[in-house]
Structure 1
């Protein structure tokens, strides 16, 4: 089964981290990613740019509303993700617990809704 590991972190703390701390965090993520790949669980993953670079799009009354920059002022922001394929939720939770973000932020484990049937084209 496929799962998303959604990584939430404090952007301000990350931006203010020392060079040494940034290096250590990068090394920890590198080792974690390599472990995922070696296990065969890794499908995809990446870091996201800060929320200031985000664009929100909503439709209201048939009009497109676009808002640049962060929308919500929250303690943690979505900072990255991993898509993994493992046997069950327990295995996904075990991988989430190993993620560097689990010690300083939050890792949300979300099963992917597998689409097995698509509507026929007309």
Structure 2
């Protein structure tokens, strides 16, 4: 089994959902997707991230967060047989959260 990260990115300043109802429906669908992953033994870890971030350099200097382009909003770490399986799960994740999903394999 290989581990993959399925990630959701959001553009700062834009709302990913058109309404509160759409957002709540997506949250419920994601919860059901998460449960199915857990029940299938494929879920390693799932997490959602706050939009605020700190940037720290090797010199210990905090810099303002970089806000150009999409930012990581949440992710799943899953175990599957290969990339095709990860892509299939990403399609299901995208349908649940109604956002595009990036698929990346962990280096071994």
- Whether contact under 8 Å (1:47, 1:80) holds in the other structure is yes
Aligned length: 106
Q: Which residue of 1 aligns with 2:56?
A: 57
Distance 1:44 1:64 in 2: 29
- The structure with the larger Rg is 1
Distance 1:64 1:7 in 2: 29
Q: Which runs of 4+ in 1 moved over 4 A?
A: 101-104
**Root mean square deviation, CA, Å:** 2.1
Distance 1:32 1:93 in 2: 15
SS at match of 1:99: helix
Runs (5+) with no aligned partner, structure 1: 115-122
Normalising by the residue count of structure 2, what TM-score does the alignment of the two structures yield? Answer: 0.83
Runs (5+) with no aligned partner, structure 2: none
